[in-house]
Amino acid sequence: TLDALKSTNHLISLTAKSHWELEVSQYKQLISAINEIIKISDSCTDERCRERGKQIRLLLDELTILAGNTNQQLVFLNKDGIVLKESGFKSPIAESEYRVYMNVERKASHFSVFPRSDNGQWGIIYNLSQFLNQLTQTIIPIEKQKLDFQWQIVKEGRELLAQSPGESSEDIRITSVFPAYMPSWSLALYKESASITTAFFSASQGIFMYIFLLIVIGLAFGLFFTLQIINKELLFSKMKSDFISTVSHEFKSPLTSIRQMSEMLFNERIKTESRKKEYYGIMLEQSERLSHLIDNILDFSKIEEGEKAFRFEKTSLKELIDRVKSLFQKSIANEGFSVISSIPESLPELVIDKEAIQQVLYNLLDNAYKYSGNSKNIEILVESTRASVKISVKDFGIGIQRVDQHKVFDRFYRGGNELTRSVTGSGIGLTIVKKIVEAHHGTVSLESIPGKGTTFQVTLPIDSKTES
Protein backbone atom coordinates (compact mmCIF):
# COMPACT_ATOMS: atom_id res chain seq x y z
CA THR A 1 0.00 0.00 0.00
CA LEU A 2 2.88 2.40 0.79
CA ASP A 3 4.40 1.77 -2.65
CA ALA A 4 1.01 2.43 -4.25
CA LEU A 5 0.71 5.74 -2.39
CA LYS A 6 4.22 6.74 -3.46
CA SER A 7 3.38 5.96 -7.07
CA THR A 8 0.10 7.89 -6.81
CA ASN A 9 2.00 10.85 -5.38
CA HIS A 10 4.42 10.70 -8.32
CA LEU A 11 1.57 10.39 -10.86
CA ILE A 12 -0.28 13.43 -9.49
CA SER A 13 2.96 15.43 -9.51
CA LEU A 14 3.48 14.58 -13.18
CA THR A 15 -0.12 15.54 -13.95
CA ALA A 16 0.24 18.92 -12.22
CA LYS A 17 3.59 19.71 -13.85
CA SER A 18 2.72 18.54 -17.38
CA HIS A 19 -0.64 20.40 -17.66
CA TRP A 20 -2.36 17.45 -19.35
CA GLU A 21 -5.75 18.14 -20.92
CA LEU A 22 -8.66 16.16 -19.51
CA GLU A 23 -12.31 15.98 -20.39
CA VAL A 24 -14.64 16.87 -17.53
CA SER A 25 -15.68 13.25 -17.06
CA GLN A 26 -12.06 12.08 -17.04
CA TYR A 27 -11.08 14.72 -14.51
CA LYS A 28 -13.95 13.71 -12.22
CA GLN A 29 -12.94 10.05 -12.56
CA LEU A 30 -9.33 10.89 -11.66
CA ILE A 31 -10.38 12.96 -8.63
CA SER A 32 -12.68 10.14 -7.50
CA ALA A 33 -9.84 7.61 -7.71
CA ILE A 34 -7.48 9.92 -5.79
CA ASN A 35 -10.08 10.49 -3.06
CA GLU A 36 -10.51 6.73 -2.77
CA ILE A 37 -6.77 6.33 -2.28
CA ILE A 38 -6.78 9.12 0.35
CA LYS A 39 -9.52 7.24 2.25
CA ILE A 40 -7.32 4.13 2.21
CA SER A 41 -4.39 6.12 3.61
CA ASP A 42 -6.59 7.58 6.38
CA SER A 43 -7.54 4.08 7.53
CA CYS A 44 -3.94 2.83 7.36
CA THR A 45 -2.24 2.00 10.67
CA ASP A 46 1.22 2.85 9.34
CA GLU A 47 2.20 6.46 10.12
CA ARG A 48 4.12 6.64 6.82
CA CYS A 49 0.96 5.81 4.89
CA ARG A 50 -1.00 8.56 6.63
CA GLU A 51 1.81 11.05 6.01
CA ARG A 52 1.91 10.09 2.34
CA GLY A 53 -1.86 10.57 2.22
CA LYS A 54 -1.43 14.14 3.52
CA GLN A 55 1.07 14.82 0.72
CA ILE A 56 -1.36 13.45 -1.86
CA ARG A 57 -4.11 15.68 -0.42
CA LEU A 58 -1.86 18.76 -0.86
CA LEU A 59 -1.11 17.77 -4.46
CA LEU A 60 -4.84 17.28 -5.03
CA ASP A 61 -5.42 20.87 -3.88
CA GLU A 62 -2.76 22.04 -6.35
CA LEU A 63 -4.43 20.03 -9.12
CA THR A 64 -7.78 21.61 -8.25
CA ILE A 65 -6.26 25.09 -8.60
CA LEU A 66 -4.83 24.16 -12.00
CA ALA A 67 -8.24 22.89 -13.09
CA GLY A 68 -9.78 26.20 -12.08
CA ASN A 69 -7.18 28.10 -14.12
CA THR A 70 -7.89 25.89 -17.12
CA ASN A 71 -11.62 26.56 -16.83
CA GLN A 72 -10.95 30.30 -16.85
CA GLN A 73 -8.82 29.96 -19.99
CA LEU A 74 -11.46 27.89 -21.75
CA VAL A 75 -14.20 30.37 -20.84
CA PHE A 76 -12.02 33.16 -22.22
CA LEU A 77 -11.38 31.26 -25.45
CA ASN A 78 -15.05 30.42 -25.94
CA LYS A 79 -16.00 34.00 -25.27
CA ASP A 80 -13.70 35.50 -27.89
CA GLY A 81 -14.06 32.62 -30.35
CA ILE A 82 -10.35 32.62 -31.28
CA VAL A 83 -9.46 29.02 -32.10
CA LEU A 84 -7.36 28.54 -35.23
CA LYS A 85 -7.07 25.31 -37.16
CA GLU A 86 -3.52 24.00 -37.60
CA SER A 87 -4.11 22.47 -41.01
CA GLY A 88 -4.52 23.98 -44.42
CA PHE A 89 -1.13 25.57 -45.16
CA LYS A 90 1.97 24.26 -46.86
CA SER A 91 5.46 24.03 -45.39
CA PRO A 92 7.19 27.42 -45.69
CA ILE A 93 10.09 27.62 -48.15
CA ALA A 94 10.85 31.34 -48.16
CA GLU A 95 12.84 33.27 -45.54
CA SER A 96 10.19 35.90 -44.80
CA GLU A 97 8.23 35.44 -41.58
CA TYR A 98 4.92 36.49 -43.16
CA ARG A 99 3.78 34.26 -46.04
CA VAL A 100 1.11 34.20 -48.74
CA TYR A 101 0.43 31.03 -50.78
CA MET A 102 -2.01 30.32 -53.57
CA ASN A 103 -3.81 26.98 -53.64
CA VAL A 104 -5.08 25.12 -56.70
CA GLU A 105 -8.28 27.19 -56.66
CA ARG A 106 -6.24 30.41 -56.75
CA LYS A 107 -7.31 31.34 -53.26
CA ALA A 108 -4.74 33.07 -51.07
CA SER A 109 -3.74 31.77 -47.65
CA HIS A 110 -2.10 34.33 -45.35
CA PHE A 111 -0.12 33.17 -42.35
CA SER A 112 2.85 33.90 -40.10
CA VAL A 113 5.57 31.36 -39.28
CA PHE A 114 7.57 31.21 -36.06
CA PRO A 115 10.47 28.91 -35.02
CA ARG A 116 10.16 26.31 -32.29
CA SER A 117 12.87 25.14 -29.86
CA ASP A 118 13.03 21.71 -31.58
CA ASN A 119 13.99 23.32 -34.94
CA GLY A 120 10.41 22.95 -36.15
CA GLN A 121 7.97 25.71 -36.93
CA TRP A 122 4.48 26.76 -35.92
CA GLY A 123 2.21 29.26 -37.59
CA ILE A 124 -0.98 31.27 -37.48
CA ILE A 125 -3.43 31.46 -40.38
CA TYR A 126 -5.17 34.83 -40.81
CA ASN A 127 -8.77 35.43 -41.81
CA LEU A 128 -7.94 38.88 -43.17
CA SER A 129 -11.48 40.17 -43.58
CA GLN A 130 -12.55 39.12 -40.10
CA PHE A 131 -9.30 40.31 -38.57
CA LEU A 132 -9.53 43.69 -40.30
CA ASN A 133 -13.14 44.07 -39.19
CA GLN A 134 -12.25 43.36 -35.56
CA LEU A 135 -9.29 45.70 -35.77
CA THR A 136 -11.31 48.63 -37.09
CA GLN A 137 -14.41 48.08 -34.95
CA THR A 138 -12.91 47.28 -31.55
CA ILE A 139 -9.29 48.42 -31.40
CA ILE A 140 -9.08 51.78 -33.21
CA PRO A 141 -11.27 54.57 -31.76
CA ILE A 142 -13.69 55.94 -34.33
CA GLU A 143 -15.47 58.61 -32.34
CA LYS A 144 -14.78 61.52 -34.66
CA GLN A 145 -15.71 64.21 -32.19
CA LYS A 146 -12.95 63.08 -29.81
CA LEU A 147 -10.11 62.99 -32.38
CA ASP A 148 -8.29 65.62 -34.36
CA PHE A 149 -7.04 63.26 -37.05
CA GLN A 150 -8.21 60.64 -39.55
CA TRP A 151 -6.68 57.19 -40.08
CA GLN A 152 -6.31 54.70 -42.94
CA ILE A 153 -5.06 51.13 -43.16
CA VAL A 154 -3.44 50.44 -46.54
CA LYS A 155 -1.49 47.57 -48.01
CA GLU A 156 1.32 47.50 -50.54
CA GLY A 157 0.58 49.64 -53.59
CA ARG A 158 -1.38 52.10 -51.43
CA GLU A 159 -4.56 50.05 -51.80
CA LEU A 160 -7.06 51.23 -49.20
CA LEU A 161 -8.35 48.56 -46.81
CA ALA A 162 -10.18 50.62 -44.18
CA GLN A 163 -10.45 54.20 -42.97
CA SER A 164 -12.14 56.33 -40.36
CA PRO A 165 -15.40 58.16 -41.16
CA GLY A 166 -15.06 61.37 -43.11
CA GLU A 167 -12.56 62.59 -45.69
CA SER A 168 -8.83 62.40 -45.04
CA SER A 169 -6.38 65.18 -45.74
CA GLU A 170 -3.32 64.59 -47.88
CA ASP A 171 -1.18 65.97 -45.06
CA ILE A 172 0.30 62.76 -43.57
CA ARG A 173 1.46 63.30 -40.02
CA ILE A 174 2.69 59.76 -39.22
CA THR A 175 2.86 56.35 -40.91
CA SER A 176 3.60 53.10 -39.09
CA VAL A 177 4.32 49.79 -40.84
CA PHE A 178 2.99 46.62 -39.26
CA PRO A 179 5.73 44.23 -37.92
CA ALA A 180 7.31 41.72 -40.32
CA TYR A 181 5.34 38.77 -38.95
CA MET A 182 2.03 40.53 -39.66
CA PRO A 183 0.35 41.38 -42.99
CA SER A 184 2.18 43.92 -45.15
CA TRP A 185 -0.05 46.79 -44.06
CA SER A 186 0.56 50.34 -42.93
CA LEU A 187 -1.35 52.58 -40.53
CA ALA A 188 -1.47 56.16 -41.83
CA LEU A 189 -2.65 59.02 -39.64
CA TYR A 190 -3.80 62.25 -41.31
CA LYS A 191 -4.25 65.70 -39.96
CA GLU A 192 -7.92 66.60 -39.90
CA SER A 193 -9.02 69.84 -41.50
CA ALA A 194 -9.89 72.06 -38.59
CA SER A 195 -9.84 75.62 -37.43
CA ILE A 196 -6.69 77.23 -36.15
CA THR A 197 -8.11 77.21 -32.61
CA THR A 198 -8.86 73.44 -32.68
CA ALA A 199 -5.45 72.62 -34.12
CA PHE A 200 -3.78 74.75 -31.46
CA PHE A 201 -5.51 73.02 -28.55
CA SER A 202 -5.06 69.49 -30.03
CA ALA A 203 -1.42 69.65 -31.09
CA SER A 204 -0.01 69.17 -27.60
CA GLN A 205 -1.81 65.86 -27.06
CA GLY A 206 -1.81 64.48 -30.62
CA ILE A 207 1.52 62.64 -30.39
CA PHE A 208 0.36 60.84 -27.24
CA MET A 209 -2.77 59.66 -29.04
CA TYR A 210 -0.68 58.18 -31.85
CA ILE A 211 1.56 56.37 -29.39
CA PHE A 212 -1.49 55.08 -27.53
CA LEU A 213 -2.98 53.67 -30.72
CA LEU A 214 0.22 51.83 -31.59
CA ILE A 215 0.48 50.41 -28.07
CA VAL A 216 -3.13 49.18 -28.20
CA ILE A 217 -2.56 47.52 -31.57
CA GLY A 218 0.62 45.86 -30.28
CA LEU A 219 -1.16 44.61 -27.16
CA ALA A 220 -4.03 43.27 -29.26
CA PHE A 221 -1.64 41.26 -31.42
CA GLY A 222 0.22 40.05 -28.34
CA LEU A 223 -3.03 38.83 -26.79
CA PHE A 224 -3.99 37.21 -30.08
CA PHE A 225 -0.71 35.22 -30.25
CA THR A 226 -0.93 34.27 -26.57
CA LEU A 227 -4.36 32.73 -27.11
CA GLN A 228 -3.03 30.69 -30.00
CA ILE A 229 -0.14 29.37 -27.91
CA ILE A 230 -2.54 28.36 -25.12
CA ASN A 231 -4.81 26.63 -27.62
CA LYS A 232 -1.86 24.78 -29.16
CA GLU A 233 -0.69 23.51 -25.76
CA LEU A 234 -4.19 22.28 -24.89
CA LEU A 235 -4.46 20.38 -28.15
CA PHE A 236 -0.97 18.90 -27.77
CA SER A 237 -1.69 17.50 -24.30
CA LYS A 238 -4.98 15.86 -25.32
CA MET A 239 -3.23 12.61 -26.25
CA LYS A 240 -2.46 12.03 -22.56
CA SER A 241 -6.07 12.10 -21.38
CA ASP A 242 -6.80 8.43 -22.11
CA PHE A 243 -3.67 7.47 -20.18
CA ILE A 244 -4.87 9.28 -17.06
CA SER A 245 -8.30 7.67 -17.27
CA THR A 246 -7.09 4.09 -17.72
CA VAL A 247 -4.30 4.33 -15.14
CA SER A 248 -6.78 5.66 -12.57
CA HIS A 249 -8.95 2.61 -13.19
CA GLU A 250 -5.95 0.26 -13.10
CA PHE A 251 -4.92 1.65 -9.71
CA LYS A 252 -8.40 1.59 -8.24
CA SER A 253 -9.27 -2.04 -9.06
CA PRO A 254 -6.44 -3.84 -7.18
CA LEU A 255 -6.50 -1.33 -4.32
CA THR A 256 -10.22 -1.91 -3.85
CA SER A 257 -9.75 -5.70 -3.85
CA ILE A 258 -6.88 -5.54 -1.35
CA ARG A 259 -8.82 -3.19 0.91
CA GLN A 260 -11.99 -5.32 0.96
CA MET A 261 -10.14 -8.56 1.66
CA SER A 262 -7.94 -6.90 4.30
CA GLU A 263 -11.04 -5.65 6.12
CA MET A 264 -12.63 -9.11 6.04
CA LEU A 265 -9.47 -10.75 7.40
CA PHE A 266 -8.97 -8.03 10.02
CA ASN A 267 -12.56 -8.35 11.26
CA GLU A 268 -12.16 -12.19 11.37
CA ARG A 269 -15.06 -12.79 9.00
CA ILE A 270 -13.11 -15.58 7.29
CA LYS A 271 -13.18 -18.63 9.54
CA THR A 272 -11.44 -21.46 7.68
CA GLU A 273 -7.69 -21.55 7.08
CA SER A 274 -8.16 -22.68 3.48
CA ARG A 275 -10.36 -19.68 2.77
CA LYS A 276 -7.85 -17.37 4.44
CA LYS A 277 -5.07 -18.83 2.33
CA GLU A 278 -7.13 -18.22 -0.80
CA TYR A 279 -7.66 -14.58 0.20
CA TYR A 280 -3.96 -14.14 0.91
CA GLY A 281 -3.18 -15.54 -2.53
CA ILE A 282 -5.58 -13.15 -4.24
CA MET A 283 -4.12 -10.21 -2.31
CA LEU A 284 -0.64 -11.28 -3.38
CA GLU A 285 -1.78 -11.46 -7.02
CA GLN A 286 -3.32 -7.99 -6.83
CA SER A 287 -0.15 -6.65 -5.19
CA GLU A 288 1.96 -8.11 -8.00
CA ARG A 289 -0.38 -6.54 -10.54
CA LEU A 290 -0.13 -3.17 -8.80
CA SER A 291 3.66 -3.47 -8.51
CA HIS A 292 3.95 -4.22 -12.23
CA LEU A 293 1.79 -1.21 -13.09
CA ILE A 294 3.90 1.03 -10.83
CA ASP A 295 7.13 -0.21 -12.45
CA ASN A 296 5.71 0.52 -15.89
CA ILE A 297 4.64 4.05 -14.94
CA LEU A 298 7.95 4.91 -13.27
CA ASP A 299 10.02 3.51 -16.14
CA PHE A 300 7.85 5.26 -18.69
CA SER A 301 8.36 8.53 -16.83
CA LYS A 302 12.15 8.04 -16.82
CA ILE A 303 12.18 7.12 -20.51
CA GLU A 304 10.10 10.19 -21.41
CA GLU A 305 12.46 12.44 -19.44
CA GLY A 306 15.60 10.73 -20.81
CA GLU A 307 16.68 9.61 -17.33
CA LYS A 308 16.38 5.83 -17.74
CA ALA A 309 19.76 4.21 -16.94
CA PHE A 310 20.63 0.59 -17.80
CA ARG A 311 23.08 -1.74 -16.02
CA PHE A 312 24.50 -4.20 -18.53
CA GLU A 313 26.02 -7.47 -17.37
CA LYS A 314 26.43 -11.03 -18.58
CA THR A 315 23.19 -12.87 -17.98
CA SER A 316 21.84 -16.37 -18.55
CA LEU A 317 18.83 -15.71 -20.75
CA LYS A 318 17.38 -19.17 -20.06
CA GLU A 319 17.35 -18.60 -16.30
CA LEU A 320 15.87 -15.14 -16.80
CA ILE A 321 13.03 -16.43 -19.01
CA ASP A 322 12.28 -19.28 -16.59
CA ARG A 323 12.10 -16.82 -13.69
CA VAL A 324 9.74 -14.46 -15.55
CA LYS A 325 7.57 -17.38 -16.63
CA SER A 326 7.30 -18.59 -13.02
CA LEU A 327 6.42 -15.11 -11.71
CA PHE A 328 3.79 -14.60 -14.37
CA GLN A 329 2.20 -18.02 -13.82
CA LYS A 330 1.84 -17.23 -10.12
CA SER A 331 0.11 -13.93 -10.91
CA ILE A 332 -2.55 -15.71 -13.02
CA ALA A 333 -2.68 -18.97 -11.09
CA ASN A 334 -6.46 -18.83 -10.72
CA GLU A 335 -7.14 -18.09 -14.39
CA GLY A 336 -6.43 -21.55 -15.78
CA PHE A 337 -3.75 -20.41 -18.25
CA SER A 338 -0.99 -22.62 -19.62
CA VAL A 339 2.37 -20.99 -20.44
CA ILE A 340 4.57 -23.31 -22.51
CA SER A 341 8.22 -22.48 -23.26
CA SER A 342 10.75 -23.95 -25.68
CA ILE A 343 14.31 -22.82 -24.83
CA PRO A 344 17.55 -24.39 -26.15
CA GLU A 345 19.91 -25.66 -23.44
CA SER A 346 22.96 -24.22 -25.25
CA LEU A 347 21.67 -20.67 -25.22
CA PRO A 348 24.63 -18.21 -25.00
CA GLU A 349 24.93 -15.59 -22.28
CA LEU A 350 23.98 -12.04 -23.27
CA VAL A 351 25.21 -8.68 -22.00
CA ILE A 352 21.88 -7.13 -20.98
CA ASP A 353 20.11 -5.28 -18.20
CA LYS A 354 18.39 -8.13 -16.38
CA GLU A 355 15.61 -6.08 -14.81
CA ALA A 356 14.84 -4.27 -18.06
CA ILE A 357 14.63 -7.45 -20.17
CA GLN A 358 12.57 -9.08 -17.42
CA GLN A 359 10.13 -6.18 -17.72
CA VAL A 360 10.05 -6.64 -21.52
CA LEU A 361 9.14 -10.32 -21.17
CA TYR A 362 6.57 -9.67 -18.43
CA ASN A 363 4.89 -6.94 -20.50
CA LEU A 364 4.67 -9.23 -23.53
CA LEU A 365 3.22 -12.08 -21.45
CA ASP A 366 0.76 -9.68 -19.80
CA ASN A 367 -0.27 -8.39 -23.24
CA ALA A 368 -0.79 -11.96 -24.49
CA TYR A 369 -2.89 -12.72 -21.39
CA LYS A 370 -5.11 -9.64 -21.78
CA TYR A 371 -5.85 -10.22 -25.47
CA SER A 372 -6.11 -14.03 -25.32
CA GLY A 373 -9.87 -14.06 -25.88
CA ASN A 374 -11.26 -17.53 -25.24
CA SER A 375 -7.85 -19.19 -25.52
CA LYS A 376 -5.93 -20.20 -22.39
CA ASN A 377 -2.57 -20.95 -24.02
CA ILE A 378 0.57 -18.80 -24.32
CA GLU A 379 3.83 -19.96 -25.92
CA ILE A 380 7.41 -18.74 -25.46
CA LEU A 381 9.84 -19.78 -28.20
CA VAL A 382 13.56 -18.96 -28.15
CA GLU A 383 15.82 -19.38 -31.19
CA SER A 384 19.55 -18.67 -31.41
CA THR A 385 21.87 -17.88 -34.32
CA ARG A 386 25.54 -16.89 -34.38
CA ALA A 387 24.66 -13.21 -34.27
CA SER A 388 21.46 -12.92 -32.25
CA VAL A 389 18.80 -14.49 -30.06
CA LYS A 390 15.12 -14.23 -30.99
CA ILE A 391 12.42 -14.50 -28.30
CA SER A 392 8.83 -15.01 -29.48
CA VAL A 393 5.73 -14.67 -27.28
CA LYS A 394 2.62 -16.06 -28.96
CA ASP A 395 -1.03 -16.00 -28.01
CA PHE A 396 -4.05 -17.51 -29.76
CA GLY A 397 -6.50 -14.74 -29.01
CA ILE A 398 -8.31 -11.94 -30.82
CA GLY A 399 -5.35 -10.69 -32.87
CA ILE A 400 -4.67 -7.17 -34.17
CA GLN A 401 -6.22 -5.56 -37.24
CA ARG A 402 -3.69 -4.81 -39.98
CA VAL A 403 -4.49 -1.09 -39.90
CA ASP A 404 -3.53 -0.96 -36.19
CA GLN A 405 -0.38 -3.10 -36.27
CA HIS A 406 2.06 -0.25 -36.97
CA LYS A 407 0.58 1.83 -34.11
CA VAL A 408 0.69 -0.63 -31.20
CA PHE A 409 4.12 0.57 -30.03
CA ASP A 410 3.01 4.23 -29.91
CA ARG A 411 2.55 5.65 -26.43
CA PHE A 412 -1.01 5.72 -25.06
CA TYR A 413 -2.33 3.87 -28.15
CA ARG A 414 -5.26 1.50 -27.67
CA GLY A 415 -6.78 -0.84 -30.24
CA GLY A 416 -9.20 0.49 -32.81
CA ASN A 417 -12.23 -1.78 -32.31
CA GLU A 418 -14.65 -2.25 -29.43
CA LEU A 419 -13.27 -5.69 -28.53
CA THR A 420 -9.72 -4.45 -27.95
CA ARG A 421 -10.79 -1.21 -26.27
CA SER A 422 -12.77 -3.21 -23.72
CA VAL A 423 -9.50 -4.69 -22.40
CA THR A 424 -8.05 -2.69 -19.51
CA GLY A 425 -4.53 -1.31 -19.89
CA SER A 426 -2.45 1.84 -19.64
CA GLY A 427 -1.28 1.94 -23.27
CA ILE A 428 2.42 2.21 -22.35
CA GLY A 429 3.47 -1.45 -21.92
CA LEU A 430 4.50 -2.06 -25.54
CA THR A 431 6.06 1.42 -25.75
CA ILE A 432 8.36 0.46 -22.87
CA VAL A 433 9.16 -2.83 -24.62
CA LYS A 434 10.23 -1.02 -27.78
CA LYS A 435 12.37 1.57 -25.94
CA ILE A 436 14.18 -1.03 -23.83
CA VAL A 437 14.87 -3.34 -26.78
CA GLU A 438 16.20 -0.44 -28.86
CA ALA A 439 18.51 0.54 -25.97
CA HIS A 440 19.95 -3.00 -26.29
CA HIS A 441 20.45 -2.44 -30.06
CA GLY A 442 17.74 -5.01 -30.72
CA THR A 443 14.47 -5.01 -32.63
CA VAL A 444 10.86 -5.86 -31.84
CA SER A 445 8.22 -6.84 -34.39
CA LEU A 446 4.88 -8.59 -34.56
CA GLU A 447 2.86 -10.95 -36.72
CA SER A 448 -0.88 -11.10 -36.22
CA ILE A 449 -3.96 -12.63 -37.82
CA PRO A 450 -7.29 -11.23 -36.54
CA GLY A 451 -9.20 -13.94 -34.73
CA LYS A 452 -6.23 -16.33 -34.59
CA GLY A 453 -3.64 -14.63 -32.40
CA THR A 454 -0.51 -12.51 -32.28
CA THR A 455 3.22 -13.23 -32.05
CA PHE A 456 5.66 -10.61 -30.75
CA GLN A 457 9.32 -11.20 -31.64
CA VAL A 458 12.23 -9.60 -29.76
CA THR A 459 15.67 -9.95 -31.35
CA LEU A 460 18.75 -9.21 -29.21
CA PRO A 461 22.32 -9.18 -30.55
CA ILE A 462 24.74 -11.63 -28.93
CA ASP A 463 27.75 -9.31 -29.21
CA SER A 464 27.07 -5.57 -29.30
CA LYS A 465 28.22 -2.38 -27.63
CA THR A 466 25.26 -1.39 -25.54
CA GLU A 467 24.64 2.05 -24.16
CA SER A 468 23.26 3.22 -20.83
**Domains identified in the chain and CATH numbers:** 2-79+238-304 (no CATH), 313-461 (3.30.565.10)
Q: What is the pLDDT of residue 361?
A: 93
Q: What is the pLDDT of residue 330?
A: 81
Which residues touch 307 (CB under 8 Å, ≥6 apart)? none
Round to whole Å and give the CA distance between 23 and 20.
10
How far apart are the C-alpha atoms of 9 and 7, rounded to whole Å?
5
pLDDT for residue 413: 67
41, 55, 59 from 62: Cα distances, Å: 19, 11, 5
Q: What parts of the chain have a pLDDT lower than 70?
A: 1-2, 16-22, 68-111, 113, 121, 123-127, 129-130, 134, 137-149, 157, 165-173, 180-181, 191-206, 208, 232, 235-254, 292, 296, 412-427, 464-468
pLDDT of residue 110: 63
| 34, 370, 380, 407 from 365: Cα distances, Å | 29, 9, 9, 19
Residue 89 identity: F
| pLDDT digit string, tens, across residues 336-362 | 888 899 999 888 889 998 888 988 998
Residue 308 half-sphere exposure, CB side, CA atoms within 13 Å? 24
Per-residue pLDDT at 149: 67
DSSP string for residues in 249-312? HHHHHHHHHHHHHHHHHHTT---SHHHHHHHHHHHHHHHHHHHHHHHHHHHHHHHHTT------
